Amino acid sequence: MVKSSVLGYPRIGAEREWKRTLEAFWSGKLEESELHSRLQEIRLNHLRKQQEKGIDFIPVNDFSYYDHVLDTATMFGIIPKRFPYEGGVVPLSVYYGIARGTKHATASEMTKWFNTNYHYIVPELDGASPVLTENKPLAAYREAKEKLGIEGRPVIVGPLTFLKLSKGYDTSETDAWLNRLLPLYVQILQELEREGVQWVQIDEPILVTKLSGADVKRLQTIYETFAGSVPGLNIMLQTYFESAENYSDIVRLPVKGIGLDFVHGLAGNMASLKELGFPADKILGAGVIDGRGIWKASLREKLVLLQELAELVTAERLIVQSSCSLLHVPVTVKKEASLIPELKNALAFADEKLDELVLLAKAFSSGEAVISDELEKCERALQALNHSGERNRIDVQRAVAAVSAKHPERTLPFSERFLAQQKKWQLPIFPTTTIGSFPQSAEVRKARQLWRKGEWNNEQYDSFIREQIDTWIRLQEEIGLDVLVHGEFERTDMVEFFGEKLAGFAFTQNGWVQSYGSRCVKPPIIYGDVAFVKPMTVEETTYAQSKTKRPVKGMLTGPITIMNWSFVREDMTREQIACQLAFALRQEVEALEDAGIRMIQVDEPAVREGLPLKEKDQAEYLEWAVNAFRMTTCTVQDTTQIHTHMCYCEFHDMIDSIEAMDADVISIETSRSHGELIHSFELNTYKLGIGLGVYDIHSPRIPRVKEITAMIERALRVLDPKLFWINPDCGLKTRGFEETIDSLRNMVEATQIARARHCLKVQ
């Protein structure tokens, strides 16, 4: 009988009860004992659901109080030196301090988990002396067995992946760090073996990226050590997000099972299996159900795939599983009452994917006839969506094809545009601005809710939004900012807002996924052809501009970010979807310019997130991503200044592509890793306008003037003062009123200090 498995389950709960519990604790409304009690209840409910669905291998230790990588670091006592810690189990005050910052210490860097929209806390190894503070996988295993009778499969982030994702050590110290960590991993595994654990899932997603010869040797050392230390423990070495690199080395490792992604890594993994075979003494975890996508799987196609795999690996050595953790998808489709039937029937969220796994295991073991009704229902649902009018708009497809055939570029090069824009705007050295959003208070959220429920009419809501704009235009002038924004009070989310106004999008009521910590997002669904309907941002932006003589930026989200932060259709390439989005957004840019808005920010914080994990695919992606941005912005006048914003990325390996976007000004989220980015500019020259985020908006602490001044001075060592802007590192929607005001005042004061120091140098 073929078994089913899932690699992880969403933490947040169908009603986001996990998020609300954390935030209640952080705000002081919940005692620590109550936090533990509520989170245990949520955790057990998730396990119980998988048990009742019939999943054979249920993961434990995939649940977290914030982030699974942070869990691993604190389990090993790896605590940044700026946080008070005296050993033993890490207190929640320290755990959450590392994640969120405190009044006295900055938070650790946060960055994306491979090429997903989930962000993890980067472990800081500098100065740490690792020791096992608690065996979290063992505690999770015991809880599942004692409370629910579940023989769980503990999940652990593997040593090589953990090291490669950490910072604070030189590459020459890698082996020394491995030698420090390996005994701790062995201790965890030995305690699990003594407890009677049958299977352990060790996640090594780093194995889908390019490894050095030294890393391959380290991999061999790790798993040979495990095999010698815990001979009775079955290890499932799990990869995901792409096909495994160094396949021949991986399959020779002394582990009982190897998990491969046959969704996003289908071509590469299948080629490796056919060419090199699969060991007869190992179990293959076949990741055939997409753990990152929301579309219903064609069960017939998946059964064909499983049959193909069974010709290479005997059926009794197959486990049917998700391609990765279901962390990346919403919890259930059942609560979505407002979606059109053609769309809803074609969706599968986490709970529905559990059903798919069980059905596939059942059919593969007993024959298709046992699920014939489900097979027919599935195919009808998928065909209905593919034949819908929304997916077959010939007018849109033809218009986008015509525009895509032309190379998008501005009339003048940046050097000439810069002079024209300087003459037009007459801005001081080091212009100050913000990224776009201002705090969305409880009052703002309540007003939006009243309007959406119909308790407020459009006039009432519009009047409220204008009052918010009035307040913040006045505050920005009082603070002394040079370039203002309207504040985005009418927007729930930077992607959802635009999706609601464009054709081809749909929105769930409860389709939330975790982005970082308790931050949850509800990605739109791009299910049809994307088209511009009418101006989306002109009204609020022009109103704000009418209230001040200082320039107000129009604020848009760029095509690549909208695509990467949405769930997208699978019947078109991502490049085709990006072009449709770019063409629609170009029409909004032109509408803003026609209305007199001559500074327009087109944010692309997620460009790096879409970068393929395979080096061979990256150049092609960057080329069409850059073209999509340029398609959005290339038709404006030379004096219209195009801004963009990006979250922190490995700047040095993308600098050519970022320059090729040809934005007049780029702002980059860098405050948590400012030193690394400055080093990138020491190695590379950047010739366009740029603003490095000078303080961290994810932390509640107010940055001191001295800190911001130091940030500015470090940046000016390698950047042209004439091209340098000063701004926070991201939008301010999630921050409080007073802390936002105080932080911006400190930023402006630091700017004035910098101007006094550098003014004579650049005249």
Could you list the residues known to form a binding site for L-homocysteine, using ranges.
435-437, 488, 603
How far lies 762's CA from each of 208, 729, 756, 758, in Å?
A: 48, 25, 11, 7
Q: Within 13 Å of residue 281, how many CA atoms lie on the same side as its CB?
A: 8
In the chain, what's the furthest Cα-to-Cα distance? 82
Tokens of 26: 């952080």
Those residues whose C-beta lies under 8 Å from the C-beta of residue 105, and which sit 6 or more positions away, are: 80, 82, 83, 97
3-state SS string over 279-343? Answer: CCCCEEEEEEECCCCCECCCHHHHHHHHHHHHCCCCHHHEEEEECCCHHHCCCCCCCCCCCCHHH
Write out the binding residues for Zn(2+): 645, 647, 669, 730
Q: Residue for token digits 């003589």?
A: 549
Tokens of 370: 């046992």
| Phi/psi of residue 201, nearest 5 degrees | -100, 115
Strands laid side by side in the 567-568 sheet: 503-506, 525-531, 567-568
Write out the binding residues for 5-methyltetrahydropteroyltri-L-glutamate: 16-19, 112, 117, 519-520, 565, 609
| Cα–Cα distance for residue pair 320/302, rounded to 1 Å | 10
Q: What are all long-range contacts of 128-131, with beta carbons under 8 Å and residues at least 24 apart?
A: 128/77, 128/78, 128/79, 128/168, 129/77, 130/76, 130/77, 130/78, 130/180, 130/181, 130/184, 131/76, 131/77, 131/87, 131/184
The answer to whether residue 652 is catalytic is no
Q: Is 630 exposed, middle or buried (0-12, 13-18, 19+ CB in 10 A)?
A: buried
Write out the binding residues: 16-19, 112, 117, 435-437, 488, 519-520, 565, 603, 609, 645, 647, 669, 730
**Residue 238: closest CA among 277, 274, 282, 183:** 282
Query: Among residues 68, 643, 674, 698, which one is catalytic?
Result: 698
| Cα–Cα distance for residue pair 228/224, rounded to 1 Å | 6
CB 72 within 8 A of CB 157: yes
Residue type at 586 in one-letter notation: R
CB 118 within 8 A of CB 112: yes
| Cα–Cα distance for residue pair 663/421, rounded to 1 Å | 13
How many Cβ atoms are within 10 Å of 647's Cβ, its own excluded?
Answer: 22
CB 229 within 8 A of CB 189: yes
| Cα–Cα distance for residue pair 90/12, rounded to 1 Å | 23
| Phi/psi of residue 644, nearest 5 degrees | -145, 165
Show which residues are catalytic.
Answer: 698
